């Protein structure tokens, strides 16, 4: 059975300043864990998130929804200058594709 804290999004990176690995959790922006090895940094941040979830539930606080459980429509709105919109529309037309297809290909 998957534990609640296993559903969250974890990432490891290197801190040049601290000369250690950093464990992070996307859903808990304020938390991090420094350790000598990536394995220990991951274990540390997972343990920290688990503790936070226990405390939040005990205090009746709502917990962040894991990114992995959210559903996405595949649509989002982006505001750009009219000149950029025109330029992208021309490039799409010249390439024989829709504006959505052109912009989606640039985001990959």
Residues of the chain with CATH 3.30.160: 4-68
CATH number belonging to domain 4-68: 3.30.160
Both structure tokens of 29 = 């922006």
pLDDT classification of 108: cutoffs 50, 70, 90: confident
Query: 1 pLDDT exceeds 80?
Result: no
Which pLDDT score, from 0 to 100, does residue 3 have? 87
Which pLDDT score, from 0 to 100, does residue 14 have? 98
Q: What is the pLDDT of residues 41-64, one digit of tens each?
A: 999 999 999 999 999 999 999 999
Average pLDDT over residues 59-78: 94
């Amino acid at each position: 059975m998957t534990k609640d804290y296993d559903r969250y999004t974890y990432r490891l990176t290197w801190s040049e300043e601290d000369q250690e690995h950093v464990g992070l959790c996307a859903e808990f922006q304020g938390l991090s864990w420094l350790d000598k090895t990536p394995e220990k940094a991951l274990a540390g941040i997972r343990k920290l998130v688990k503790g936070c979830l226990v405390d939040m539930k005990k205090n009746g606080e709502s917990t962040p929804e894991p990114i992995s459980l959210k559903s996405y429509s595949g649509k989002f709105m982006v505001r750009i200058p009219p000149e950029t919109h025109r330029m992208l529309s021309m490039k799409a037309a010249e390439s024989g594709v829709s504006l959505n297809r052109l912009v989606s290909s640039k985001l990959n």
